[in-house]
Amino acid sequence: MSNSLPGWDEMSDLDKGAALLHIWKRDWEGPGYAVANYPARYFEHPALTGLDPRTACVHAVQVCGSFDAVEERIGPAELDHLYNLALEEHRRRCPECYQPLVDRRCAGCGWGRPPRSERTECPDHKGA
């Protein structure tokens, strides 16, 4: 791991949880599937948020090891806290560009549905 990348103790709780999201999928589904479909996507540290997906996954493995190894180090309560914190933040992000969603829309790329107040009624389904 590069010396410029933070280790576990220098990471925020959200970034620790982001690593755990990837590690869980890696342990459960296998490394190839996890890297392709659930890469580590960090939230806060600039050196981590700028990583390409493969490098982010390598970093997550290096700071975590396995899900069980992290649980042994920090305990199940802290592991659950970090994992769930990151999961909630992940759900608030755009699946296309990973920017935060506002009213279920991405200000970055425009992904998502407009708020109800901005929707127009479909003339083919009026009254349905």
Tell me the pTM.
0.81
pLDDT at residue 68 above 80?
yes
The mean pLDDT of the chain is 88
Please report, rounded to a whole number, the percentage of residues in the chain having pLDDT higher than 90: 66
Which of 14-28, 34-48, 114-128 is the least confident region?
Answer: 114-128
What confidence score (pLDDT) does residue 75 get? 97
CA pair distance 34, 25, nearest whole angstrom: 6
